Amino acid sequence: MVRHGETPWNAEGRFQGHYDVNLSPEGLHQAYRVAERLAASGNFFDGLYSSDLQRAALTTKPIAEALELQPIYDQRIREIYAGKLQGLLRYEMEAQFPEFQWAVRTDPWHTPRPGGESMADVAARVQIFLDELPEGRFIVVTHGGVIRASLKLVLGLEGNVWRRFQIGNTSITRLVYPEGVALSVGDVGHLEAWADWLSDEVTMS
């Protein structure tokens, strides 16, 4: 599972939800970096799935080109629908919806966004998506909330442990389903500065 590249709203800290935000220049750069890494992995992939939201689709494009795969776009792996929070900064959310702020701290899994979904709602549609995947190795380009929900589902996590995972832009999370194994979570090695010279032919003395 690959989270989409950075968007301007990510950088600003705005709630995105289903709002169709484009990638920032940095996000586009990240998308090409993760595509390069996946292509260099030597792994064979049976298919490529993507959220149909623009930020995921644009992250998927260089991956599809690098691996010569035809992406399948699926609404079930969209980010959580944030309802009235979409477009707001955190301090605006806290000022306008203080009751939600209290409720989501108490029960972050079942509390719906005002006019939107809860994480439990996201998990319900993600569960159907996972169960319908055929046997094989797939790339799924999606969103942070979907990846956290998937970790809770696949690993059978109790309580609110799912909230602790850091899922950065274009990070790679490798899951084995239905066996219930996570091989890596939030791996952004392709974005590290040292990755720029790992493949250089110049010998460093």
pLDDT tens track of the chain, all 205 residues?
A: 999 999 999 999 999 999 999 999 999 999 999 999 999 999 999 999 999 999 999 999 999 999 999 999 999 999 999 999 999 999 999 999 999 999 999 999 999 999 999 999 999 999 999 999 999 999 999 999 999 999 999 999 999 999 999 999 999 999 999 999 999 999 999 998 755 545 544 434 3
Q: Is 181 helix (H, G, I), strand (E, B) or coil?
A: strand
Quick one: which of 83, 94, 23, 93 has its CA closest to 59?
23
Calculated CA dihedral for residues 185, 82, 13, 48, nearest 10 degrees: 40
Provide the residue ranges of all domains of the chain, joining segments of one domain with +.
2-196
Residue 57 amino acid letter: A
Total Cβ atoms within 10 A of residue 114: 15
- Cα separation, 2 vs 111, whole angstroms: 26
DSSP state of 46: S
Residues forming the active site: 4, 79
The domain 2-196 is placed in CATH, from the list 3.40.50.300, 3.40.50.1240, 3.40.50.11290, 3.20.20.70, at 3.40.50.1240
- Encoding tokens for residue 44? 């064979």
Q: Is 184 helix (H, G, I), strand (E, B) or coil?
A: strand
Cα distance from N-terminal residue to C-terminal residue, the chain: 37
